């Protein structure tokens, strides 16, 4: 039987989850032409791969329903909605400037056993700070 990691703090797991969501969102943004290819310096569009990454985020949201903190759910919902809007715009032939990175909302953690709301609150949608990770000074 699989062993549950008990030494990892809840905050660290939240950070890892948000990093996972951000990496997946960056991959989708890359295939939507929002992040330039480092070798060519130009954005390249591949709607099939972009759809795959967006669908993976939707699947994660579905499979983790009721198990995410407000912060995690807010970041995930923002990433999905931003990418879906850009996907529609790009698939219709429009060019979007950039995918806005989802913000980590400043909301209290959900207690164990409690369910998180399915849609972001007004405070979460107003927060537009970028998630960054510091590796120390």
Residue 97 lies in a domain: yes
In this prediction the pTM is 0.63
Residue 111 lies in a domain: no
Q: What is the pLDDT of residues 38-97, one digit of tens each?
A: 888 888 999 999 999 999 999 999 999 999 999 999 999 999 999 999 999 999 986 544
- How far apart are the C-alpha atoms of 103 and 78, rounded to whole Å? 7
Which pLDDT belongs to residue 10? 80
Residue 128 lies in a domain: no
Residue 135 lies in a domain: no
Q: Which DSSP letter does residue 33 get?
A: T
Residue 70 lies in a domain: yes
Residue 115 lies in a domain: no
Total of domains in the chain: 1
Residue 58 lies in a domain: yes
- How far apart are the C-alpha atoms of 68 and 76, rounded to whole Å? 10
**Residue range(s) defining the domain that contains residue 57:** 10-106
- For the chain, what is the radius of gyration of the CA atoms? 16
Residue 57 lies in a domain: yes
Name the average pLDDT for the chain: 76
């Amino acid at each position: 039987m699989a062993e549950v990691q008990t030494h990892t703090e809840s905050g660290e797991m939240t950070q890892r989850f948000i990093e996972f969501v951000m990496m997946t969102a960056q991959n989708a943004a890359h295939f939507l032409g929002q992040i330039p290819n480092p070798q060519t310096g130009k954005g390249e569009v591949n709607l099939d791969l972009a759809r795959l990454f967006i669908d993976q985020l939707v699947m994660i949201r579905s499979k983790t329903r009721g198990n995410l903190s407000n912060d995690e759910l807010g970041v995930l919902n923002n990433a999905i909605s931003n990418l879906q809007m850009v996907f529609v715009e790009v698939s219709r032939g429009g060019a979007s400037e950039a995918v806005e990175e989802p913000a980590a909302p400043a909301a209290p953690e959900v207690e164990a056993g409690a369910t998180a709301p399915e849609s972001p609150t007004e405070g979460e949608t107003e927060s537009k700070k970028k998630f960054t990770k510091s590796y120390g000074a």
